[in-house]
Amino acid sequence: MPGGAWFVTLHVREAGFFDEDVSTNHNRHRNARIEDYMLAIEEITGRGGWVIRIGDPSMTPLPEMERVIDYANGDFRRDWMDLFCVAEGRFYFGMPSGPSSVAVNFGVPTLGTNWFPLGPWPYSEGDIFLHKLFRSKDDGRILSIEDSLKPPFFCSLEPLFFEAQGIEILDNTPDEIRDGVIEMFDALDGKAVYSDEEQAAQDRYRVLADPYHVGLSPRLARDFLAAHPELIGGKAGRRP
Coil, strand, or helix at residue 20? coil
**Helix 98-106 × helix 79-88 angle, to 10°:** 50
Task: Report if residue 1 sits inside a domain.
Answer: no
Task: Report if residue 87 sits inside a domain.
Answer: yes
Q: Which domain holds residue 180?
A: 7-133+171-229
Task: Report if residue 2 sits inside a domain.
Answer: no
Task: Report if residue 146 sits inside a domain.
Answer: no
Q: Kindly give the pairing relationship between strand 92-94 and strand 7-11.
A: parallel
Task: Report if residue 74 sits inside a domain.
Answer: yes
Predicted TM-score of the model (pTM): 0.92
Task: Report if residue 150 sits inside a domain.
Answer: no
**What's the total number of domains in the chain?**
1
Task: Report if residue 100 sits inside a domain.
Answer: yes
Instruction: Assign residue 108 a region (left: φ > 0; alpha: ψ between -120 and 50; beta: otherwise).
Output: beta
Task: Report if residue 156 sits inside a domain.
Answer: no
Local confidence pLDDT in tens for the 240 residues of the chain: 999 999 999 999 987 544 555 555 557 788 999 999 999 999 999 999 999 999 999 999 999 999 999 999 988 878 889 999 999 999 999 998 888 889 999 999 999 999 998 877 767 888 999 999 999 999 999 999 999 999 899 888 888 899 999 999 999 999 999 999 999 999 999 999 999 999 999 999 999 999 988 888 899 999 999 999 999 997 665 555
Q: What is the CATH number of the domain that holds 190?
A: 3.40.50.2300
